[in-house]
Structure 1
């Protein structure tokens, strides 16, 4: 398979993987029902962003890196691909090892509930959104590796998007012989 054909699918895939991780971080990761005798019960939801704010920030970095691949040079693409893979592995690790942070966020949310009277901490149920976030980060890590490997062979933006450079100053010819010399050098003697 031609590595140049991977350009659009890898960039779009990295963008989607980062968006998937970001979306999963905004969903409910834990739900607790706080019930006390004599008070109305309360349902407390804890999102991934509440438990681990760094997860959504890393997902945004992955989406920005996917867009950076479009405008970067071949050498920089390799760095962006490696950086994307590194950030994605860090995000997946934070989510997988963050059960203590989730439990702390649940404790804070339960204590803020109007139905909480100071009794023991109720048990909470987790949702599959944590695994969806991990899936997004794993996909981003794989696609970052593909970018680091094949990014140098992908097409780049044309030079018309570069900053304009200074035009060389043209000295007007003084005599007929200067005009012929200008033509020999490939310059337009009429300018």
Structure 2
């Protein structure tokens, strides 16, 4: 794998992961139906950020990891790769906790919370604007697959990026890989002549042949 690929592959994977996790935070994960004797039946749509608040920090962490991958080299890059893989594992845990049997008590706590969209995201009189009192009963919970699916794909991208960085980190730039100015080349040539006078013959031969010995 070339140096360019060692940098480009994890950066692309991290960008994909960040976008997918952000989309998952905006997608609907649950439709919760609550009933109380005052407002009757109330339906709440819980987005990923409502049900899994860690999605947004994970997306931001993927973005921050892009800068770390671009700047850190060698052993430090392997450490960054391990951290990225841990973020991927955290995303996997979010997926596992978001599928299967849903915790009714937790859903009740979210929809009766005084903060966020779960309580009310509409103005007075608008459809679905009724608050959900704490004494409401959850009568139905339905899941949506888009959010968990996007989270799973984002987790896979994070894990893949972490593995690539750990196994194939970008190498530190050696002196031989850096750009050497013509003046530096001439200085090196002069130093070589001083240490090995016979090498000067090659320089004169290059000049006689019309070649630049510093190139």
The TM-score range, normalised by the shorter chain, is: 0.5 to 0.7
1:122-153 alpha-carbon deviations (Å, 9 max, x no partner): 21111111121122012211121011111144
| TM-score, reference length from structure 2 | 0.60
Is the contact between residue 35 and residue 138 of structure 2 (CA under 8 Å) also seen in structure 1?
no
SS at match of 2:148: helix
**Does 1:108 pair with 2:109?**
yes
What is the aligned partner in structure 2 of residue 141 from structure 1?
Answer: 159
- 1:10 corresponds to which residue? 10
| TM-score, structure 1 normalization | 0.67
Question: Secondary structure in 1 aligned to 2:31?
Answer: strand
State how far apart, in whole Å, the 2-side matches of 1:101 and 1:153 are: 46
User: 2:139 maps to what in 1?
Assistant: 122
Cα distance change, pair 110–53 in 1 and its aligned pair in 2 (3 A): closer
Cα deviation, 1:8-56, whole Å, max 9, x if unaligned, reads 1321221221221122123211112446688575431111211221232
Kept after mapping to 2: 8 A contact 1:18/1:136: yes
Contact 2:73 2:171 in 1 (8 A): no
Q: Distance in 2 between matches of 1:153 and 1:34?
A: 57
Number of residue pairs the alignment of both structures matches:
160
- Any stretches of 5+ residues in structure 2 without a counterpart? 113-118, 121-129, 180-193, 195-215
After the TM superposition, which of the residue ranges 138-147 and 104-113 deviates more from structure 2? 104-113
Distance in 2, matches of 1:131 and 1:17, equals: 12
d(CA) in 2 for partners of 1:12, 1:81? 14
Larger-Rg structure:
2
Q: Are 2:73 and 2:172, in contact at CA under 8 Å, matched by a contact in 1? A: no
- Equivalent-residue separation in structure 2 for 1:54 and 1:20 (angstroms): 14
Secondary structure of the residue aligned to 1:134 is helix
**Does the CA-based 8 Å contact 2:34-2:137 persist in structure 1?**
no
Deviation of 1:80 (Å): 0.7
Structure 1: gaps of 5 or more residues: 161-183, 185-191
Contact residue 50 and residue 105 of structure 1 kept, 8 A = no
Q: Which residue of 2 aligns with 1:44?
A: 44
In the alignment, the residues of structure 1 paired with residue 75 and residue 89 of structure 2 have an alpha-carbon distance, to the nearest angstrom, of 22
Q: 1:146/1:78 Cα in 2 relative to 1: closer, same or farther (>3 Å)?
A: same
State the match for 1:61 in structure 2.
61
Kept in 2, the 8 Å contact 1:10–1:147? The answer is yes
Q: Which moved more, 1:76-85 or 1:117-126?
A: 117-126
Aligned-residue Cα RMSD (Å) equals 3.3
- Between the aligned partners of 1:4 and 1:109, the Cα distance in structure 2 is 46
